[in-house]
Structure 1
């Protein structure tokens, strides 16, 4: 009976996973269809695949937008981690006055939707000459991800016994040496999971990209929207661009899945 229950739970888990993955599967196969085939409802699973859509979108500008997304994602993630990790360490390890208020202020910056602040941001970027620049998108990515880094990394740092920090200091390790050589390796799964989430958020950001860029710094989500025209939706080409867009996150998540799961579950069991 117990074996049958375990098998039923496993089968149910696979069915739920297939249900959630099915829209992604449709997107993947639609990119290999012709436009006429992509418009057929219900979608057909039997067709002759073609690479014409991928060749067309890549040669018509996707390579440039893909490069922009890579630069913005890597730049914003790197600087968000560079600023957020030391701040999270200080809030976790030191007795700071009004630390809870500081934490709440950081998370409160995520409560207001971007659309509510897009007009003043646009005017500020226009006056600073940051419109349609990669630097402007990187700055917005940093501002968007630093609160996430602080909140996530603080919970990971909280799991480190303070005795470990004191022991390193007794052995002669200074504050920065102990932080870099002892503390950071201890929370490496947390660092990987936090950096991966920041990269995904920066990679998928559409509203800031479409509002603050035109052509010189537009990213993949912005390029994908160009296939929504007055004549209709080009489903096959949109699916091809979407497939190219999700591949980096899928590959990165696949190779870091063990560290990601371990990082996201740190502190769940004591």
Structure 2
């Protein structure tokens, strides 16, 4: 199992370090800014071998060049997004399997927030780095993709093992939770989860990562296929993707 370190960056971003104590290798997923990441590496006495980029938005890539200069790390990102990512040493496509820190990693297609967005799944360590696709109690705003694309992406991620840790890119859990609590169907698990979120934030602790099991039970976007949610929204006979689209439209106006 790889060691996971969550690194707060910028105002509300997260980067993630994974480290293999056997090989001594370390990888970074997303590079919002170099300072906090370099500090975390120094604190642990680690180098940096790989940088994996989920998508092209500046707050996930702007630290890449400085980190490469400081560490010599190899940069991996989606071939479809290579024209708007930092220079890639390895371009990958959905369905590819690569080796990072001695572990096999699956590249998953997750368009919606952007086109060309990918997630990285480390099945042995039960980690999924989802960027701004599936997020804690939410999902990314649809800047480039369609609701149907995002629903397909969420469906792929929802099929991962329930004990997978969902490592998403932002500390948006409180605002996402407020939206979830505003809906017509509020499961008891959501109320309990939000109590924990409030305690964590009051203590200055991150609410990311979360387990996929938590998201399946409480994330309103994953619950678009839940009959209770559909009935509460007056969409009992609607297709799952249509319910998701309605929820996403409501969140955009919330």
Range into which the TM-score falls when normalised by the shorter chain: under 0.3
Q: TM-score, normalised by structure 2?
A: 0.23
Of Structure 1 and Structure 2, the greater strand share is in 2
Structure with the greater alpha carbon radius of gyration: 1
Of Structure 1 and Structure 2, the greater helix share is in 1
